[in-house]
Amino acid sequence: MKERILITGGAGFVGSHLADQLLKEGYAVRVLDNLTQQVHGDQEWPDYLNQYVERVEGDVRDAAKVEEALQDVSAVYHFAAAVGVGQSMYQINHYTDVNNRGTAVLLEALSKRPVKKLVVASSMSLYGEGLYRDASGNIYSPPERSVKAFAEGQWDVFYGGEALQPVATPETKLPSPSSVYALSKYDQERLCLIVGSAYNIPVTALRFFNIYGPRQALSNPYTGVLAIFSSRFLNNKPPIIFEDGKQRRDFVSVHDITRACVLALENSNADGEVFNIGSGENYSIADIATKVGQVLDKAHIAPEITGEYRVGDIRHCFSNIDKARNLLGYQPRVSLEDGLEELSQWLQGKASFDRVDTMRNELFSRGLSL
Active site residues: 181
Q: Check residue 144 and report its DSSP letter.
A: P
In b/e form, how buried is each residue of 115-127, taking b as 16+ CB within 10 angstroms?
bebbbbbbbbbbb
DSSP secondary structure string for all residues of 199-235 = TT--EEEEEE-EEE-TT--TT-TTS-HHHHHHHHHHT
What is the Cα–Cα distance from 287 to 32, expressed in whole angstroms? 37
Spatial contact of 124 and 182, defined as CB atoms under 8 Å apart: no
> What φ, ψ does residue 77 adopt, rounded to 5°?
-105, 120
Beta bridge partners of 167: 131
Q: Whose CA is closest to 355, among 215, 242, 222, 226?
A: 222
Residue 303 CA, chain-centre distance (Å), reads 23
**What Cα–Cα distance (Å) separates residue 316 from each residue in 167, 243, 307?**
9, 12, 16
Spatial contact of 208 and 11, defined as CB atoms under 8 Å apart: no
